[in-house]
Amino acid sequence: MTSSRRDFLQISAAGVVGLGAAANPLRLRRPHSPAQSSLRVLVLGGTGFIGPHLVRNLLQRGHTVTIFNRGRTNTHLFPQVERLIGDRNDDLASLRGHSWDAVIDNSATNPKWVRDSAQLLKDATPRYLFTSTRSVYNDFTQVGLTEETAPTFDPDSSAIDRGERLPYGPSKVLCERETWRAFPNGTLIVRPGLIIGPGDQSDRFTYWPVRIDAGGEVLAPGDPTDPVMFIDVRDLAEWYVHLLEQERTGVYNALGPEAPLSFAEMLYGCRAATSANMSFTWVETDFLLEREIRPYSHMPCWIPPRGDRAGFQRFDLSKSLAGGITYRPLAVTARDTLAFHKTRPSEVRNRLLAGESRAGISREREAALLAEWHALNQ
């Protein structure tokens, strides 16, 4: 184990104390009071993960919302909202003849989709908010990177015309370029990191509150002081609306919490969401890597802060904080994520701890690793 027992207990205690204040208590939630003026907002998507939280917040703030999508997912949501049916691959006709105060594009990974929609809408709205990703950055070796200092990929824009499929990060770079091209004075780019919270089907954070709630000995990866960053989907949605109301443009990262968070503090934040009888066993990074346990997938949220990932979980949040981002307590996120998971179909719930989800490992694999770790450290 890389930290002494005394160090670990100190970190654990700090995590428990900070559960209600993973964010500075001075930066509490914005109240759901009506905005000073009502905006007409078009949401491209609106029924996936970010979309429902975003639409709900827009409505709570007194804005008028239109949703554009294929009409295949969560069609029961928001019956009071105008819905335009189309397909970003080949059918944008329903977008013609309308105007909005802002457009929010949550659904694009294909730069051609952004080119087509942005060019069509550039005379129908003054502002276009595009949901990008921290994956546009191609170098995380430095600690304290910002929107301005973190280098991005530089893909060939002609790949769009050739119909080439690019990796996720470079593809999002081209999406950003298409947004700027159509809206040189009205582009707002938000680059989230890991988005977590109720409604997340990826299990990239959900694994931890669910595994902890299952009880027993829980494998905790790496060093308790390893950093971690993420953003609650509801905090992201609220911030989107705030940025639009403030008529912000430019590029913002969307990461949190406000104060640096260790992996031990994150796990104890999840621990606060359940009364299960459990304990953590910290297993060293090299032991896990040698046994092909992959950070961020087998061990969700966890990236060892070394080498080309030294700064991955240590971004500078100054610009986002100045832009008005706020964070709810981690314990609230963990509690609500666990409650969401318990509403999912049983076959989905069972897949997570069986190691059949996109994140996490099976209970059997975890037990085998723990047994081997204990045998080596007797």
- 89-114 pLDDT, tens digit per residue, is 999 999 999 999 999 999 799 999 99
Quickly count: other Cβ atoms within 10 Å of residue 209's Cβ.
27
Q: What is the 3-state secondary structure (H, E, C) of 314-356?
A: CCCCHHHHHCCCCCCCHHHHHHHHHHHHCCCCHHHHHHHHCCC
- Give the integer Cα–Cα distance in Å for 265 and 12: 6
Confidence band for 21, pLDDT divided at 50, 70 and 90: very low
Element housing 223 (H / E): none
Q: In which band, very low, low, confident or very high, does the pLDDT at 378 lie, cut at 50, 70 and 90?
A: confident
Positive or negative: CA dihedral 248, 192, 68, 57: negative
Write the CB contacts of 227 (distance below 8 Å, at least 6 apart in sequence). 260, 261, 262, 263, 305, 313, 314
pTM of the model: 0.91
Tell me the two tokens of residue 98. 């309308």
pLDDT at 23: 37
DSSP characters for 100-138? -SEEEE-S--SHHHHHHHHHHHTTT-S-EEEE--GGGB-
Q: What is the pLDDT of residue 32?
A: 54
Alpha-carbon distance 318 to 322, whole Å? 6
Instruction: Look at residues 245, 234, 268, 259 and name the one whose alpha carbon lies nearest to residue 324.
Output: 245
Which residues have CB under 8 Å from 218's CB, separation 6+?
Answer: 211, 212, 267, 278, 279, 280, 281, 366
Q: pLDDT value at position 2?
A: 39
Instruction: Tell me whether strands 187-192 and 128-131 are parallel, antiparallel or unpaired.
Output: parallel
One DSSP character per residue, 27-62 reads: SPPPP-PPPSS--EEEEES-SSSHHHHHHHHHHHTT
Hey, which residues does 195 pair with through a beta bridge? 231
Q: How many CB atoms within 10 Å of residue 133? A: 21
How many whole angstroms separate alpha carbon 325 and alpha carbon 126? 23
Q: 């730069």: which residue's tokens?
A: 111
Mean pLDDT of 339-361: 95
| CB-count exposure of residue 266 (10 Å: 0-12, 13-18, 19+) | buried
Q: Which two tokens stand for residue 283?
A: 């297993």
Model confidence pLDDT, tens digit, residues 198-211: 999 999 999 999 99
What confidence category does residue 274 fall into, taking pLDDT thresholds of 50, 70 and 90? very high
Taking only Cα atoms into account, the Rg of the chain, rounded to an integer number of angstroms, comes to: 21
Question: Is residue 16 very low, low, confident or very high in pLDDT (cuts 50, 70, 90)?
Answer: very low
Residue 73's pLDDT is 85
The 10s digit of each residue's pLDDT in 110-159 is 999 999 999 999 999 999 999 999 999 999 999 999 999 999 999 999 98
Using alpha carbons, select from 241, 219, 209 the residue that is nearest to residue 62: 241
Question: Which position has the token pair 């989230």?
Answer: 192
For the residues 1-24, what does the mean pLDDT come to?
42
